Amino acid sequence: MSLELQQAFGLRREEAMKIRPCIADQGDHLFLQRSWTKGGRERIVPIRTEL
């Protein structure tokens, strides 16, 4: 699953492994908490296609 997240959303490997879908899925975007990202910065990744 983490490989699919990396490919579909351009996530880094560590982000894809740490992501918690119940928290990240905001409908039209993914919200990545600072503890999941490089540099400790929150990120928003838009969802532009249907999977």
Question: Would you say residue 30 has pLDDT above 90?
Answer: yes
Q: Phi first, then psi: give them for residue 15, nearest 5 degrees.
A: -60, -45
Instruction: Give the per-residue pLDDT at 22.
Output: 93
Residue 37 pLDDT: 93
In this predicted structure, what is the pLDDT of residue 42?
A: 95
Residue 46 reports pLDDT greater than 90: yes
Q: What is the reported pLDDT for 2?
A: 86
Predicted confidence at residue 51, as pLDDT, reads 61
- For the chain, the average pLDDT equals 91
Q: Which residues of 19-38 are buried (b: 16+ CB within 10 A; e: fewer)?
A: beeeebeeeeebebeeebbe
Q: Is 45 exposed, middle or buried (0-12, 13-18, 19+ CB in 10 A)?
A: middle
Q: Give residue limits of the domains in the chain.
A: 2-46
| Contact residues for 24 (Cβ-Cβ < 8 A; gap 6+) | 30, 31, 32, 33
